[in-house]
Amino acid sequence: MDLEAALGEFLSYLAVERGASANTVEAYGRDLRRYVAYLAGRGVTAPGEVSRADVEDYLAELSSLGLAPASLERALSSAKSFHRFMVAEQIAPSQPTADVPLPKKPRRLPDVLTIDQAARLLDQPFPPTPAGARDRAILEVLYGCGLRASELCALDVSSLLPEEGLVRVWGKGGKERVVPLLGTAAGAVSSYLASGRPSLDRSGACAALFLNVRGTRISRQSVHAICERYGRLAGIEGLHPHTLRHSFATHLVEGGADLRVVQELLGHSSIQTTQIYSHVDRTHVRWDYLTAHPRARG
């Protein structure tokens, strides 16, 4: 079996046995097709012929093309997964990427809104139309529940548990979690269901919670555009749905929420992923100290 055939087997394994999403399989395929094409250009087509030098040269070439550290890390991570699969399936005898270190990427704190900015965004006047009611509900849910754009788009009306004040969310890898839907977010969704969604649901048969003007499930691209448009109206340029997710987590931590609770609400499989918000919180505490303590600037 050559590398091309092995790649096909690996992508099928991800989709069927691992239950990876179509987006995940597509991303792996994109990275690994480039990797396999590079190896073929060096005359390496058999799984057992790949050496550590081949892998290191591949990363060096990607780096010379100007790929960011995060993209290099993803490329190597994809190659490592591919080679682990080939060894496990006895397609290749060894793992040439086993001790190749991941390139270090600079740790960057996520962009977050201040509480005042979040209030300006959500308290601004929305158009008195079905789409306006929908847009307000979308922004309230992104900030009030900390959802990814893809998770929000995947919500159905049946995902809502209004009596319990909860919403059922399907995250990465098909993992289900339940998140509180309370306060102004719950109010915005209730108003949208009463006065917005019935007008958008032309067929009366769409299960999706958030609909576009054609009466079908809203797309991630539309959610991004909604965030940018209302962010600009509130004086916040380049607002992204993930900024609202980061703001949700940061404001919870700043308000005293336990990091394990925030981890569960965000759907992170590892607490290490959530640790970034403890760093954000320490930055907030330091700023409060500097501005409030009479001798802090000594």
Annotated catalytic residues are 148, 172, 242, 245, 268, 277
131-150 burial, b at 16+ Cβ within 10 Å, e below that, comes to bbbbbbbbbbbbbbbbbbbb
Question: Can you list the positions of beta strands (E) in 171-267?
Answer: 176-180
Cβ-contact 32, 4 below 8 angstroms:
no
**Using an 8 Å Cβ cutoff, are 27 and 35 in contact?**
no
Answer for the pair 151, 170: CB distance below 8 angstroms, yes or no. yes
Using CA atoms, how far residue 86 sits from 43, 90, 100, 228, in Å, is 19, 6, 17, 43
How far is it, in rounded angstroms, from Cα 141 to Cα 154?
13
Report the half-sphere exposure of 1 (CA within 13 A, side-chain side).
Answer: 16
**Strand intervals (E) in 157-288:** 160-161, 166-170, 176-180
**Structure tokens given for 96:** 């040439």
The residue type found at 56 is: E
- Sheet strands (E) in the chain: 160-161, 166-170, 176-180
Q: How many CB atoms lie within 10 A of CB 81?
A: 18
In sequence order, the β-bridge partners of residue 168 are 178
Q: What is the DSSP string of 195-214?
A: HTHHHH-SSS---BSSB-TT
